[in-house]
A and B are shown apart, each in its own frame.
Chain A
């Protein structure tokens, strides 16, 4: 049978039907919506209600939520795996030269610092990079999610990208870690004198944070080609 174009009222009915499942993951929403429309386009107007009912039975509330939960877990694992792969690649081939360059540069800067404030700025530099990346990331994510949010306007629950969440969490992670690294030694060892190796320590932490930030940006670049981020 020739595919037909669904009427506006039919599309609204499909959207309402999917909204009742209360799915928040944009990836799952778009996939189910596309499945519904592709299927219903093959049936006449008279068969529409029956077919929509049958689809609703197949894509039950429980099934959709199980699918979403599993997909979220897989997305989180995927981001972690991809970032680890990216970091490993820095140590392979000619890339290690690039890494060594960053290392030397950061250590050189750390030895040139004259005060704790300067060391603080050095430590903050990769975090500042992450903050700016976060703005760009949120904006791109907003742009990519817009058509889906528009389709499911009035869903009543926030729609998010399953792949965006783990990346956002990873952007915030070093900011929290930096707080821990700054305050924890002072709490545990109040009399610890860090001054002799402070610049080396700051240099090492900056290298790690830079490596982390750059690898995360690369993960975003890789995933943005194929996902809603």
Chain B
């Protein structure tokens, strides 16, 4: 599915939402979770994922933990207090955007979304 441009704009929201639901995750786990939830329809590329994770970390929205796993070091990401607040803000922004998009795409239909 060619939806890369659509995903780009909401990648941060996707990451934040996943971390809100899963407490802590590592990079590869995030890509797999998105693939699993969307039955492979949406694939987060590594090229976009890690810069986004590092940006969110630098903005103080994510905190990290380092753990030894099977003879290698793994970096886990989790939401900070401000990350939790930002998730709520971004989710409501996305919700409002999707509703407006629905209004544009289906002018006669009242949007009823359960995001």
Q: Which B residue's beta carbon lies closest to that of A33?
A: B72
Do the beta carbons of A34 and B73 come within 8 Å of each other? yes
Is B74 a contact of A227 with CB atoms below 8 Å?
no
Q: Assess whether B68 is interfacial by the CB under 8 Å rule.
A: yes
From B28, B66, B69, B70, give the contact of A35 (CB < 8 A). Answer: B28
Residue numbers in A under 8 Å from B102 (CB-CB): none
Asked if A112 lies at the interface with its beta carbon under 8 angstroms from chain B, I say no
B58 at the interface (CB under 8 A from A): yes
Give the size range of A's interface with the partner: 20 to 34
A148 to B71, CA, bound (A): 9
Q: Decide: A226 near B55, CB < 8 A? Known: A34-B73, A147-B73.
A: no
Q: Which residue of A lies closest to B74 (CB)?
A: A34
Partner of A78 from B46, B58, B75 at Cβ < 8 Å: B58
B110, chain A: closest CB distance, angstroms: 43
User: Is A58 an interface residue when CB atoms closer than 8 A count as contact?
Assistant: yes
**Interface 1/0s, chain B 29-69, versus A by CB < 8 A?**
10000000000000001110011001101100001111011
Contact (Cβ within 8 A) A228 B66: yes
Quick one: which of B28, B47, B55 contacts A39, CB cutoff 8 A?
A: B28
Tell me whether chain B's interface is mostly helix, strand or loop, or mixed: mixed
* Structural contact, A34 and B65, CB atoms closer than 8 A: no
A111 contacts B by Cβ under 8 Å: no
Q: A34-B73, A34-B74, A71-B54 are in contact. Are A147 and B68 (CB under 8 A)?
A: yes
With CB as the reference atom, state the residue of chain B lying closest to A85: B60
- Contact between B73 and A30, CB atoms less than 8 A apart: yes
> Which single member of B45, B58, B65 contacts A77 (CB below 8 Å)?
B58
Chain A hits for B68, CB < 8 A: 147
CA separation between A106 and B37, bound complex, in Å? 61
Pair A34/B54 contact, Cβ less than 8 Å: no
Residue A31 CB within 8 A of the other chain: yes
